[in-house]
Amino acid sequence: MTGTPTTAPRPANRTTRDLTRAAVSGWLGTAMEFMDFQLYSLAAAIVFNKIFFPDVSPAIGLIAAMATYGVGYVARLVGAVYFGRMGDRIGRKKVLFITIALMGASTTLIGALPTYQTVGILAPIMLVVLRLVQGFGAGAEIAGATVMLAEYAPVRRRGLVASLVSLGTNSGTLAASGLWAVLIAVLSEEQLVSWGWRLPFLLSFVLMVFAVWMRRNLKESPVFEERADVVDGVALSREEVAKSNTLEAGLKQRKGKAFFLALGLRFGQAGNSGLVQTFLVGYTAGTLLIDRTVPTSAIVYGSILGFATVPLVGLLGDRFGRRPVYLALTAASIAFAFPMMLMITSGSTVAVVVAMVLGLNLSVLGLFSLESVAMAELFGARNRFTQLALAKEVGGILATAIGPVLAATLTAVTGHWWPIAAMLMAYSLITLVATLLSPETRGRDLVRLEDAA
């Protein structure tokens, strides 16, 4: 391929069936990603300290297990760079096929790992290796699904359609939490530690096969095909774009502002997710000594409610704009942080469940529904996949990965729950500030090469 296009690209026609297939594929892939990661995070919070780190104290074992959970986010960052650039250059579809296969294979193999009692230190080493492979594939999965759905969606319903990514995360969380809730309720402690923990990981193989089949039949993003800098299915190089006066403006724009705004938007949801869906599950059972079925059941109930919360927030974003709804959700999340922790530490089972259900929907799923479309709209078409993937994964490392480890350390040092509430407030405050600094992006033309800021 040489030269630059001499005529505008033809509009890429997509039928309702194509949109439906893209929606199902995006939902399914994201569901698989979050099912994989929620399976791992719950296992890390409940049993991995006993299986892979049995020779240390419970507190140190929890910190070590949370660290293996966090290390996957380093691999996600590498995957975001590698696959993000690939997706911007050769298309979204090819990348999404590769990432789903990597995630599914590594998750299934975790269920076949030997334990520390069998092979010693080699067991946690293999666990970390598979976690790295899983993260490498997942680094571009949710960003790719977000980009694909946003670029497929009708402009007036972009928030609703893009929110299906959030429904995918919710479906994956629900499936993983439901599986763990059943295992905890049915199996004894000995059965769970000896073999029961393997079942969810091995069963994920079935979902992987179906997801791979769906991705094989998916058409490319219409926005990618309509981009003025794409010729014969491959994006022009920077040097080739520079030869065209009509395309050069997209490269001359100074980059960075949109990325940091997106990173700020990501912080609230990512940080709150790591604390609510991961750390608090282990904290309520291990430190507060509340029956372990309570927090896992709360995540299940919260995920069920999320099937109403996510599309509702998407619709509100389409109706009133991204900024007003973002401001309302982040302000409410800040106000609810300390009351939520007071409810969780009250000792009341009902209070724990209500607090975690509300926290999950308000501070995690609601923000995720908005994030799915707002971050995609901030970036120009030429680097949307790469920048979106990087913003999500850098935010994931700084908030979701480090958050549970930091929370475990602070609560162990202080012997109190207030650091958790303070962290929840801080994460939401960062997103509140980013929202105030961001432009309104509702209705933006996603084919444009330049960023919105």
The pLDDT of residue 318 is 96
3-class SS of residue 87:
helix
- Distance (Å, whole) CA 148 – CA 219: 10
Query: Span 135-147, mean pLDDT?
Result: 87
The pLDDT of residue 134 is 84
The answer as to whether 224 is a domain residue is yes
The answer as to whether 4 is a domain residue is no
**Which runs of consecutive H residues, i.e. helices, occur in 56-139?**
58-90, 92-110, 116-119, 122-138
Better-predicted residue by pLDDT, 172 or 452: 452
pLDDT at 250 over 60: no
Better-predicted residue by pLDDT, 336 or 281: 336
Among 234-238, 364-368, 447-451, the least confident range: 234-238
Better-predicted residue by pLDDT, 36 or 222: 222
- What phi and psi values does residue 235 have, to the nearest 5 degrees? -70, 140
Burial degree of 79 (CB within 10 A; 0-12, 13-18, 19+):
buried
Among 115-119, 162-166, 409-413, 427-431, the least confident range: 115-119
- Distance (Å, whole) CA 441 – CA 157: 13
The answer as to whether 1 is a domain residue is no
Question: Does residue 91 come out as left (phi exceeding 0), alpha (psi in the -120 to 50 range) or beta?
Answer: left
The pLDDT of residue 252 is 67
The answer as to whether 130 is a domain residue is yes
The answer as to whether 452 is a domain residue is no
Most confident segment among 91-100, 390-399, 429-438: 429-438
Number of compact structural domains in the chain: 1
The answer as to whether 447 is a domain residue is no
The answer as to whether 5 is a domain residue is no
CATH number at residue 235: 1.20.1250.20
Q: Which helix (H) or strand (E) covers residue 39, if one does? A: helix 16-46
pLDDT at 12 over 70: no
The pLDDT of residue 330 is 97
**Which range marks the domain in which residue 215 is found?**
16-437
Tokens linked to 238: 């920077």
The answer as to whether 247 is a domain residue is yes
Q: What is the DSSP letter of 140?
A: T
- Distance (Å, whole) CA 81 – CA 77: 6
Most confident segment among 3-12, 32-41, 108-117, 380-389: 380-389
The pLDDT of residue 5 is 43
Q: How confident is the model at residue 115 (pLDDT cuts 50, 70, 90)?
A: confident
Query: Span 21-45, mean pLDDT?
Result: 78
Q: How confident is the model at residue 272 (pLDDT cuts 50, 70, 90)?
A: very high
Q: How confident is the model at residue 77 (pLDDT cuts 50, 70, 90)?
A: confident
The pLDDT of residue 184 is 83
How far from chain centre, in Å, is Cα 175? 15
Q: Which tens digit of pLDDT belongs to each residue from 286-342?
A: 788 888 788 888 988 998 899 999 999 999 999 999 999 999 999 999 999 999 999
Query: Span 61-72, mean pLDDT?
Result: 62
The Cα-based distances of 363 to 3, 174, 332, 340, 398 in angstroms read 48, 17, 8, 11, 17
Model-wide pTM > 0.85: no
Better-predicted residue by pLDDT, 359 or 192: 359
The pLDDT of residue 305 is 94
- Distance (Å, whole) CA 24 – CA 139: 20
